[in-house]
Structure 1
């Protein structure tokens, strides 16, 4: 990998400069050029003019928020990865940000996750903070409850989809994914290689007809394969 270009976007200058320094001083990412932007509008202009490898994106900002900026950046420059970094962890922000094309979602008070998250996103993985994973799971469960309530007292004419059964290793990998684990962390937990983890998750995604990790997590929750109450000891 050549010299990385990383853009940090936040309307708080102190935080913006602090994050830029934190990432810039980390040797595990190799040689890098750090760039900053104060809002989504400036980030969009910078990404179109000279695309970085990664954007660390705040969400709530003046002029253009992180959701709209991410949507436009991913559309105009598909090769640019976006990692959301926000204090906001409610459904109204998490879902639109991921739908806009973010490759990960990190909570600002978990800066110890920042470098591992950057590594994961640059390796074409999704990185979802455990707190955000829990939000996604609750979203899926709420959807199930709403559908169940809507169908009470009426016969459903909707054809139910059936999916192939997940193999034990595939199910275990999805379970760890529900805790926000990266491929490397899942590999350590399961005692297998990272390549095997990727294979198990890819097979699970194919069986559940999903295109990425976020959809896989939500679909697995809808089908009752993972649950917020699950803990690592059960794997």
Structure 2
């Protein structure tokens, strides 16, 4: 991680869970991290906690489903930091309804955050890198094992579809960057069941019900894989890290 010391990383969905933990580890590695989310107060509290670390964390409020707010986010990063060297698309959400019970409003909300915002942040991050002739930048999508398998859990079938889209977008961007002879890399980390606020919030249950069946992945496990991806030599592109809890059946 030495070559990333002092460089700029954007982490979306940074107010809790995997996003907050990624921020913590990147700051510990000496990066200048911008944490973006609607709840900037939680990111600021984390920033205060990390004040003695080698890097820094700056909180920026952004509703990623609003295109103009995303564009303003990148404008603010350019003004304050010059631009983005690493973009980690972590933000995501799901509703708890099957395909037969869901609504168009819920489907659009998931698409806007899980797919469209991811694409827009990626586009703006790559543009920032090209503008500054940064040819070793990195885009990392925090996807899901559900981008690779369809389970029998009906309430997450549409969420699964959005993560399959992320898998397709990952390979599409790799091909486009390769066609341009760019050395900007794109990767994904696709975890299985991870103990965060995500599932209890979606299912409106407590954490013991959501994560009590077996030992789940922890946010630190996913963040460590992000650092592993970033640490690879410039000629190595780690494409998609699939992570399962050892006891997860499917």
Please state which band the TM-score falls in when normalised by the shorter chain.
Answer: 0.3 to 0.5
Structure number with larger C-alpha Rg: 1
TM-score normalised to structure 2 length = 0.41
Q: What's the TM-score, normalizing by structure 1?
A: 0.44
Of Structure 1 and Structure 2, which has the larger fraction of its residues in strand? 2
